[in-house]
Structure 1
Amino acid sequence: MNNNKTAPPPHIDSGALGIEKSGIDYVPLSQRHGKAWHLAPVWFSGTAHLLTFAVGFVGPAVGLNLVWTLIASVLGLSLGIFFSAFHSTQGPQLGLPQMVQSRPQFGYYGAVLIFAVVVLVYVVQGVSTVLVSGPSLTATTGLSGNMALIITVLVGVATAVIGYKFIHRLGRWVTYAFLVVFAVLTVEVLFRVELPAGSFSLSGFSWTPFLLQFGVCAGYLIGWAPFVSDVSRYLPPSVGVRRSFWWTAGGMWLGAAWLIGLGAVLAIAYPAIASTGDIVGTVMAAGDAGFNGLGKLAAFTAVPGLLYFTGVCFYSASLTLCSIADTFGMLRRPAARIGFVGVIGAGTLAVSLLAGDNLIEQLGILLPFVLSILAPWTAINLVDFYVVRRGRYSVREIFNPSGIYGRWSWRGLLAYVSGMVVMIPFISTTVWQGPIAEMLGGADISPFIGLPVAGVLYLLLSRSLNLDEERALIVQMDKDIDRDVDEGQAVGGQTTYAH
């Protein structure tokens, strides 16, 4: 381990608009700030936008009526929010970004496999958000389609470059504006929109579309599990696990349930528009049914949330790419984060310009895919944090390739691969339909098989860990780490800079 001290650069803190100088560095206690409730607007604004609204279209598009769409959505969101909110609590306790925390479970080099998988998730989320934000800007400002996509990506890049403080501040601004306008729209919809007969009938239930809507909603929120510690890691550990969990869960729940429910109502009330995947057109039609101009105002008010979440996607993607580069000793300076923001922004723009138009169909395919590849990881990570190691980790050793967590951790890798393998018979996609999925009428329940298998197997394999010896080493290795980091001492292979 390199323990050479290097002088930190001058401390510059210019408030919310000051560019974050940290990369995947450990955040010492002297630099922690904020309160647990600050997480609520971050994740309310992260869900209160038209991409979430589009998730409510999926159930009606495959034949579910309103009541079964709402039931499937509530159950799916409840599952997804459980995992993401528990991941959020890890940030204040460890002071590290989310994905680098996977090294104790998968090993210093083994975790790179998980990092690469998660980068795919960021691309899916980022492209989906850009593909909704672009048409929203076009419809409300008159910009050309390609120009709207470019502006969306540029704003996302700027948000990600400025970093953590600005993300939190912007989340509050977006929340306040959204609450006012969409509260008016929702009241107008509840009193004026007419729903077809049978919208609340419990008859005609079908497993396949129900499980699709359930999986889309669960995958939508579990898809944020790799993000959440990234925007909670500067909070002091004194916020506690319980408060950080509930403030994260509360913000996510309100935003997601509100927008998905509203989306489902309008997809059924305006089937001709919704069936084309025209999310913005559906919102505008519903708003203008109340009074002229409300629809355009609502669509425009939802744009900042989309731009904001695009920035969050780019921010977290850059931290994961930093983790990959750090593993191989490349680009360890925190400034590399800014370069990676540009890389992920350019890639997202390229994919968005080439993507097809049918976003609702794509969401029905991509979000269950996101859930499938994340389910084993989230189970392993949470089991390790809450059950096996109980939050006790050495930050120095997480950055040490020859440390106590090893280069490759066969326990985590075996549990992850096993979770993926057992899902194969249950997968149902246009590319592959497993035999059990076929017996279930095409319903894809694979993630709900892989998740418990990976978690339980990892727990059993971890029984051979010598945790008493590990904990004794943690105390020794991380002694005075906060003082050392404040003085600019290297942690593992990277030098920490004041923020």
Structure 2
Amino acid sequence: MEIENRSVEFIPENERYGSVKRLFTVWCSANMQVTTMVIGALGIVAGLNLGWTFIGLIIGNLIGSIFMAAHSAQGPHLGIPQMIQSRAQFGVIGAGVPLAIVVIAYILFTAANGVVMRDSIKAVVPVSDNNAIILFGALTLIVGFVGYELIHRIGAWMSAISSIIFTLAAYAILKHGLPEGVWLLSGSTFKFATFCLVVTQAASWTLGFGPYVADYSRYLPSSISTRSTFWYSYLGIVVGSTILMLLGAVMAASAIDVTTDPGSAIAKLFPGYESLAYYVIIIGVLEWNVMNLYSSYMSTVTIFTGFNGTSRISLLTKFSIMAVVAIIVTVIAIAAQYNFNAYFSDILIAQVYVLVPWSAINLVDYYLIRKGRYSVPAMYDSEGIYGKINWNTLFIYAITVIVQIPFMELSFYKGPIDKIIGTDISWLPALIIPGALYYFMNRSKRLHLTPFDGTHLPTTSMANLKNTGI
């Protein structure tokens, strides 16, 4: 298998390949891993019963996945990485602001995975805590450097293998029964603040894939319909994330510690086969970790290439940047490993504050303002039609982040509105305010749509965009 030599540049039609069904397996498997289980367990740990936790997790996944899949549908149509497309809204250099935030978010998540896998690594390799995290980081770097095709192949295999192991795990737990009353949906078991928190955490998880989801659909032929791209991505993430979150909730309700060491919690359900289970668990989280590292690299390169218009990156530069990111991730993981629960909860919620406004702006521009019409060459030219910096968009983005402050709830801060309501609902203003402001400030652009440049863009029919079924 060859190392991927494409990076932030446009993927020409003669290099497009693959089936849209790949999107189901890559997103199902990326979510069918033990870190996703931790999300499901948080509601139980916070005091909500199993019935209401199930409902909150399902609602959050169904809502958040809509936006993730809508971003995925942009990949085959434009043939470029997700965050490059943000240059059309923020300007070629201005896009560096949301890009830098995305890089930070994924570095923190990648570090979290290193902590989650520490004890699982130690179970199969006799190493110290720190060395286990370093080893997982090194594996992530190697697979991430090989790139796109290897990631998809791992996804295809792991979607099947992970399904088997987690199905058996669910059976092992349920055959012993659950504590009485955990499903009760009476008013006395409902805690509004905790229920809203569960919905937010589940939606945040799926929304978090938005800034890089098109990175894994950009090689698909442009003839693939937007509807197909949307639904295969949507169903993949909904199936994978919902099933594992529900399993995490069931395990927590059964008094199994999921948040401290989810890998061991699953492996111990397979006496005599624990080592095999550990290997499957490690590879499952490794796949998602690789996707985070791969897209952190893509976003980092996008920031710096905005200044000089570069679109081709050498393999040496690619490895160097990935290595630096991997080292930073490893250092953070080692530092945060003994205070993980607060760390993980904070980054899960905090990403809503910064990624959801970007998502709203991007989707409104793509589906309502420009309707998929972009000049890809102009996205690499700071003197082109998208300009260096779009101050109006940056203003909308900044205002939205500021407006959310009273709604915020973190381990070290509670906003005044959060104290009144009793829960963090910041994702609602984060979604509505920037989308509405961007639409009304840019609706005149609909009369001056950017035409396709047939030399550089795929000859995708606009019928694909109109026939979305979204």
- Bin the TM-score by the shorter chain: over 0.9
- Distance in 2, matches of 1:305 and 1:208, equals 32
Counterpart secondary structure, 1:248? helix
Pair 1:384-2:365 in alignment: yes
Which of these residues, 245, 256, 263, is aligned with residue 280 of structure 1?
Answer: 263
Which 10-residue stretch deviates more, 417-426 or 63-72? 417-426
- CA distance, structure 2, for counterparts of residue 55 and residue 359 of structure 1: 13
2:454 aligned partner: 479
Residue 353 of structure 2 aligns to which amino acid in structure 1?
S
Question: By how many angstroms is 1:24 displaced?
Answer: 0.3
Q: 2: distance between equivalents of 1:307 and 1:143?
A: 18
**1:449 corresponds to:** 429
Superposed counterparts of 1:383-422, under 5 Å: 383-422=364-403
Provide the rounded CA distance (Å) in 2 between the counterparts of 1:220 and 1:124. Answer: 13
Matched, 1:359 2:359: no
Alignment pair present for 1:334 and 2:309: no
Map 1:222-371; keep pairs closer than 5 Å. 222-271=207-256, 273-274=257-258, 277-285=260-268, 287-288=269-270, 292-294=271-273, 296-329=275-308, 333-335=312-314, 336-371=317-352
Write the distance in 1 (CA, Å) between the matches of 2:356 and 2:86.
14
Alignment of 1:71 onto 2:52: no
Larger Rg: 1
Deviation readout 1:21-43 (Å, 9 max, x if unpaired) = 11100001111001110111111
Letter in 2 for 1:351: I
* CA distance 1:274–1:174, change in 2 (3 Å): closer
Of 422, 427, 439, the residue aligned with 1:459 is 439
State the shift of 1:117 in Å. Answer: 0.8
5+ residue gaps, structure 2: 459-470
Unaligned runs of 5+ in 1: 1-16, 484-499
**Aligned-residue identity in percent:** 32
Counterpart pick for 1:53 among 37, 45, 62: 37
Q: Secondary structure at the match of 1:422?
A: helix
Whether the 8 Å CA contact 2:406–2:416 is kept in 1: the answer is yes
**Per-residue deviation, 1:299:** 3.6
Q: Does structure 1 retain, via aligned residues, the 8 Å contact 2:23–2:232?
A: yes
Q: Distance in 2 between matches of 1:239 and 1:130?
A: 36
Distance change >3 Å, CA 78–CA 188, structure 1 → 2: same
Alpha-carbon contact 2:309-2:381 (below 8 Å) kept: no
Q: Cα distance, 1:274 vs. partner?
A: 4.2
Further displaced range: 409-418 or 346-355: 409-418
1:125 matched residue in structure 2: 109
For the structure 1 residues 299 and 198, does the alpha-carbon distance in structure 2 shift closer, same or farther, using more than 3 Å as the test? farther
**Helix, strand or coil for the counterpart of 1:239?**
coil
What displacement does 1:330 show? 8.1
Q: Per-residue deviation at 1:264? A: 0.7
In the TM superposition, residue 219 of structure 1 has moved relative to its aligned partner by 0.9
Query: What SS does the aligned partner of 2:159 have?
Result: helix
Q: CA deviation at 1:332?
A: 5.3
**Shift, 1:294, TM fit:** 4.8
Q: What is the CA-CA distance between 1:295 and the residue it aligns to? A: 5.1
Q: Is the 8 A contact 2:407 2:424 kept in 1?
A: yes
TM-fit CA distance, 1:284: 3.5
Deviation at 1:361, TM superposition (A): 3.2
User: What SS does structure 2 have at the residue aligned with 1:182?
Assistant: helix
Contact map agreement 1:159 1:311 (CA 8 A) in 2: yes
C-alpha deviation, 1:364, in angstroms: 2.0
The AA in structure 2 aligned to 1:446 is S
Q: Does 1:178 align with 2:162?
A: yes
Tell me, in whole angstroms, the C-alpha distance in 2 between the residues paired with 1:482 and 1:249. 26
Q: What SS class does the counterpart of residue 36 from structure 1 fall into?
A: coil
Write out per-residue CA displacement over residues 348-383 of structure 1, whole angstroms, 9 at most, x where no aligned residue.
Answer: 111111113343333222111111211100000001
Q: Which amino acid aligns with 1:213?
A: V
Matches within 5 A, 1:93-132: 93-132=77-116
How far apart are the structure 2 equivalents of 1:353 and 1:32? Answer: 40
What do residues 20-69 of structure 1 show as CA deviations (whole Å, max 9, x unaligned)?
11110000111100111011111111101110011111111110111111
Question: Take 2:165 and 2:416, find their aligned partners in 1: how far apart are those partners?
Answer: 48
Whether the 8 Å CA contact 1:133–1:152 is kept in 2: the answer is: yes
Q: CA deviation at 1:188?
A: 2.3
| CA distance, structure 1, for counterparts of residue 90 and residue 448 of structure 2 | 19
Amino acid at match of 1:325: F
- AA aligned to 1:233 is R
Check conservation: 1:270, 1:282, Cα contact below 8 A.
Answer: no
Q: Is the 8 A contact 1:418 1:453 kept in 2?
A: no
SS in 2 for 1:401: coil
1:183 CA drift (Å): 2.1
Residue 212 of structure 1 pairs with residue 187 of structure 2 = no
- The residue matched to 1:81 in structure 2 has which SS? helix
Opposite residue 379 of structure 1, the aligned amino acid is A
Give the whole-Å Cα distance in 2 for the aligned partners of 1:123 and 1:234.
25
Deviation at 1:84, TM superposition (A): 0.7
Q: Corresponding residue for 2:73?
A: 89
* Corresponding residue number in structure 1 for 2:468: none
* Aligned 8 A contact 1:182 1:298 in 2: no
- 1:469–1:80 distance in 2 versus 1, CA, 3 Å: closer
Moved more, 132-141 or 230-239: 132-141
**Preserved CA contact (<8 Å) 1:411 1:462:** no
* Matched residue type, 2:171: V
**CA separation of 1:468/1:460 partners in 2, compared to 1, >3 Å: closer, same or farther?**
closer
Alignment partners' CA distance in 2, 1:270 and 1:144: 28
The letter for the 2-side match of 1:460 is F
How far apart, in 2, do the equivalents of 1:440 and 1:341 lie?
42
CA distance in 1, matches of 2:358, 2:383: 23
Cα distance in 1 for partners of 2:280, 2:211 equals: 27
Q: Distance in 1 between matches of 2:328 and 2:279?
A: 26
Tell me if the contact between 1:212 and 1:364 (Cα under 8 Å) persists in the aligned partners: no
Give the 3-state SS of the residue equivalent to 1:417 in structure 2.
helix
Q: Which amino acid aligns with 1:225?
A: G
